[in-house]
Amino acid sequence: MGSTYILRKGNATLSDLADGMAANGLYGGGRAWRVNSSGSGDYATIQEAVNAASQGDVILIDGSAEYDENVTVTTHKLTFVGVGAPRSVRATSVGTNSTCFTINGAYDVAMFNMNVGGRGTGSALELTGQIRRFSAFDCRFSGGANGVEIAASSGGQVVDVLFERCRFEGTDGVEFSTGEGGDPASQIYFKDCDFQYCAALCINHPTGSWSTGLFVQGCNFLPEEDGTAPSTGWIKADNAAQTGMISGCFFADTLHEADRTAIDAGVLYVGNYAEEGVSAARPD
C-alpha cells in the first residue's frame, strides 16, 4: 500500500512524509495535508484539512497529539493516514451523544492507522448517504453505541466496503440500518478483524434490516472485558433477504449455536471455530 511504502523511506518528520507523498505522486497525484494540533502542520484540526482538501488528496494526522472532533467528509477520494503505529493515532468525538467520523456520500475514501472513538449514542464511524468503496486498514473503532454504523439515508446505499485488520468495540461492534430510508448495504467485507468488548452484538442487523453480500473472513469474536460473551450474541443476520458468507472465524464460545450466531439460509457458514472444534454444519 502507498502509505506503507512511504513510511519505509525513512522520513524523520511529518513534513518529510508529506513531501515524499507529493513527490512520488501517490494517491492520484493529489496533495498531502499535514494535521498537527500544536500548529506545526498545515492545519490544527482534521476538519480544517478536510475542508481544504480536493479529490485525490491525502490527510496525514500526526500521532504525537490527540484530536477531539466531529468530522464530516463529503469530498470523494480522500485518504486519511494516522502517522504512527497501527491504531495509535486517536480521534474522539465531542459532545454527549456524538459521532467522530461521518462519511456522508463520499466515494473512494480510505483510512489507515486510526483509533476512532464515539460517545453516548453516537458511533466512532458512520457511513451514510450514497457511498462507494470505503476502506479501513489497521484501525480501531469504539463506541458509543456502535463502533461503526452503516446507515444509508433516503435515496442512498452503502456499497463495496472493506475493513481489514481492524478492531470493533461498542454496544454493537457494527450495526446496519435502513431506518433512514436508504437501500440495504451491499458487498461489505471484514477480513482478519477483531470484535471485542461488545455489550450486545458484534455484528447486528436489527429486525427489518439486512445487507446483500456480507463477507466475514478470518475474524476473531472475543468476549467482553469481564470475560462474558456479548449479551445478545455474536452475529445477527437473519432477515430472509440476507446473503453472504462467514468463513474461517474464531468464536470465544463452547458451541456453534443458532441463538448466538443467527444467520439466514442465504449466509453460508464455512469452516468456523468454537471450543467444540471446526464447524461441520450451520449453527444449531
17 within a domain of the structure (yes/no) = yes
Asked which of 61, 76, 105 is the last residue of a domain, the reply is: 61
How many other β-carbons are positioned within 10 Å of the β-carbon of residue 25? 10
Q: 203 and 85 share a domain?
A: yes
The alpha carbon of residue 130 and the mean position of all alpha carbons in its chain are separated, in whole angstroms, by: 17
pLDDT of residue 6: 41
Task: Tell me: do 27 and 168 sit in the same domain.
Answer: no
Question: Are residues 165 and 46 part of one domain?
Answer: no
Residue 123: which CATH number?
2.160.20.10
Same domain? For 139 and 83 the reply is yes
Count of domains in the chain?
Answer: 2
pTM, two decimals, is: 0.89
Based on the fold, state whether residues 133 and 220 are members of the same structural domain: yes
20 with 6: CB under 8 angstroms? yes
The C-alpha cell that represents 31 in the structure block: 496533495
Identify whether 45 is part of a domain: yes
CA distance 140 to 128: 19
State whether 161 and 121 are in the same domain: yes
> Does any domain span residue 190?
yes
Single out the residue in 41, 61, 81 at which a domain terminates: 61
Q: The domain containing residue 17 runs over which residues?
A: 1-61
Residues 40 and 141 placed together within one structural domain of the fold:
no
What tens digit of pLDDT does each residue of 247-260 get? 999 999 999 999 99
The answer as to whether 85 is a domain residue is: yes
Q: End of a domain among 61, 86, 102?
A: 61
Percent of the chain residues topping a pLDDT of 90? 71
* Same domain assignment for residues 193 and 146: yes
**Distance between CA atoms of residues 85 and 114, nearest Å:** 9
Pair (40, 142) in one structural domain: no
Residues 173-218: pLDDT tens digits? Answer: 999 986 556 688 999 999 999 999 999 999 999 988 899 999 999 9
| 168 inside domain | yes
Does residue 283 lie in a domain region? Answer: no
Asked if residue 284 is part of any domain, the answer here is no
pLDDT per residue over 130-176, tens digit each?
999 999 999 999 988 999 999 877 778 899 999 999 999 999 999 99
Residue 5 confidence (pLDDT): 36
Whether residues 147 and 242 share a domain: the answer is yes
DSSP H helical segments within the chain, as ranges?
2-7, 14-24, 46-52
Residue 83 lies in a domain: yes
